[in-house]
Each structure stands twice: as structure tokens, then as C-alpha cells.
Structure 1
């Protein structure tokens, strides 16, 4: 466990050229991947508190805005922004399901404390590019959906995984009929932990 005895995991869907975003949106719509994201980042447990916290996610400001500037249901969101009045701008003051912090260390520290109290064993880092890159040094596990497409005009990319990450599991190749895209889920674990 890597941060205050709490697992740090990253989750993203990436194209074959590592693109994760275009114009602050996902470059595709794959229902099964969205369901996978929800399943991975929410976890019912015997200790689910009255507030119903089933997951903790950390993201950058642009990722939060790409989701309609709304916290994810049943999860507590930590939003990293350098804008000091961001919580006020977005109506997030005094919310118990969304906190604005100004750097990754604060996000991880507060998220780990909350995870401990809520009996959750994983903190999820969900984007974007800069947050993924900064969080890699704390990351134990990475869940990537590899989407079989090149995105030529993407503007956000997932970082190359350091050599200490190795494939621990992968699904069979799947096909999304609506988008006509092939994809698979791959789990990478940090061997140095």
C-alpha cells in the first residue's frame, strides 16, 4: 500500500497512441468501458457510511469540468485546481462529496484519511494528463482500457508507464457495436511495491 496504507490506483481509457482526451472530452463512447469505470471506482462494503461513500476519486479541474462539473454519485471527489476561488465558482463550498485542493499531495493526504475512515482500501486517480503523470510515483496499480484506434488530433495523453509496472491481468478482446471499436481491459501492477 503506497500512500498512508491506502492503495493508489489509476484508471483511464487510452487509444493506441495513448490519447485520453480531445477538446476536454473522451474521444469515443463505449458503454461497457463506462460501466467498468463505475464498477472499479465504487465499492460497497460492510462499513459503507450513512453518507453512502463507496469510492474516492482524485482529478484535475479540466477532468471535473468534462464531467459536467458534478461530483460522481456515491463517490467523494477531490478536484485539484490552482484557482483559489474554484470551490466558490463551482458551488462546491461546504459539500461533503467534493473538495477542492490545490496540489496532488493535499489531495492524496485528505483522500487517504477519508478512505481510512470509510474503510475503503483504494484511492482512484481518474485524470487528466498532468495528474496521472504526477501521481505515478505513488501508484500501485493502473487499470487501462486499451481502445484500438489512433486519435490524430487528441490533446491529452496518458503517460508511458515506468518499467516497474507489469501486466497482471487482461481481458479478452471486446467489441463495441455502437462505436465499432475493439478494446480490452488491462491491469498493471507496480512490481517495486
Structure 2
């Protein structure tokens, strides 16, 4: 699939019932998963200038707000909001590496153009539910952390994987001592053909 010759990948942590959020927050805190997310969405570079971006993420407005409305460091942050004055509301006008777009297509187009210029191979879709669903048609790879739990009253869910995705890699089952939750990292790729 890809978008303008740039890989589109999704990354999320999901419960057994596919829950990704509750009350606009992650329903758990697993440091290994947060480190995994950072490592996947940030490409270490030899030319590590303070200003150079090392990743590109696209997210919906609620996902951005769940991160205290702070852009992720070292990454270009594309935020999708239908509100025309969202950038003004959140003080994001003329902010480095933060772009408010009004639809997914515009976000992907700008992100792909930026990826080419910054020599980045992947655009990361990081949520939420609607953005994951809308972006699936462009997605080449999905990185899911399967968290071994069920969430009561979750209000955001990861979509069912389409049939043309298959498991490409899977980690061992791991355990987070603080949350006492089991989890594993799984990579899904779109089948060829």
C-alpha cells in the first residue's frame, strides 16, 4: 500500500477486547511499552542535530489532548482536527514540528513530503480509534502491544485487523511488575498480492 512511496505503520497497545483508551487516557502504564513506542517512532540518526526530526506521527485531536496537548519530542506531529481554529486554541501556530490538519489525506500528503526531505521511511499512525480505522487502507505494517487484560467501560477500541494482514513477528510474553500485566509485541504486515 504505502503513501507516496513512504511506509505507513500503525502502533497501539490493545487489551484482549481491543480497548486502547478509557476517559481519554491509556488504560494502563507499562514502561516497556512506552519505551517500545518511543523506539519505534523515533529513528536514531548519526546527524543528530537538535532541530532534526527523527520520526513522523499522525494522530487525532483527542490523542494529542491525552498527551497533555504536548507534541512528541524529536518527531513531526500531525494533529487532525475538524476545528478550523484548533491550532490557535492550543497555541500551536508557528510551532516547530507541529502541524494541524483538517483531514487524514492532507496529513498523509504533508507527512510523506516531509518524510522524503528528512530521509525517513515510515509515517506512524498513533491513534485514536477513528484515525486508525481511516488509515488502515494505506497501512503496510501494524505494531500492536497485546496487553493481557480486559478493560471495564473502555471507550476507544482498535479496529479488527483486515484479513490481508498476517503476523510477521511476535515477542515472548513479558510481564510488567508495576502494573502486574502480561504483554507481548506483535508485528503484522500486509500480505503481498
Q: Same fold (TM over 0.5)?
A: yes
Tell me which residue corresponds to 1:179: 179
Q: What is the match of residue 20 of structure 2?
A: 20
Cα offsets for 1:165-186 (capped at 9, x unmatched): 0000000000000000000000
Structure 1 portions without partners, runs of 5+? none
- The farther-off stretch of 38-47 and 78-87 is 38-47
1:79 is matched with: 79
Cα deviation 1:74-107 (Å, max 9, x = unaligned): 0010000000000000010012210000000000
Within 5 A, what are the aligned runs for 1:76-155?
A: 76-155=76-155
Q: Is the 8 A contact 1:48 1:118 kept in 2?
A: no
Measured in 2, the distance between the counterparts of 1:5 and 1:60 equals 23
Normalising to structure 1: TM-score of the pair?
Answer: 0.97
Residues 47 and 119, structure 1, Cα contact 8 Å, conserved in 2? no
Please identify, of 168-177 and 90-99, the stretch whose mean Cα deviation from structure 2 is larger.
90-99
Deviation at 1:132, TM superposition (A): 0.1
**Match for residue 6 of structure 1?**
6
Tell me, which stretches of 5 or more residues in structure 2 are unaligned?
A: none
CA contact (8 A) 1:47 1:118 kept: no
CA distance in 1, matches of 2:114, 2:78: 11
Give the match for residue 33 of structure 1. Answer: 33
Q: Is residue 54 of structure 2 the alignment partner of residue 54 of structure 1?
A: yes
- Per-residue deviation at 1:46? 4.1
For the residue of structure 1 that corresponds to 2:167, the secondary structure is strand
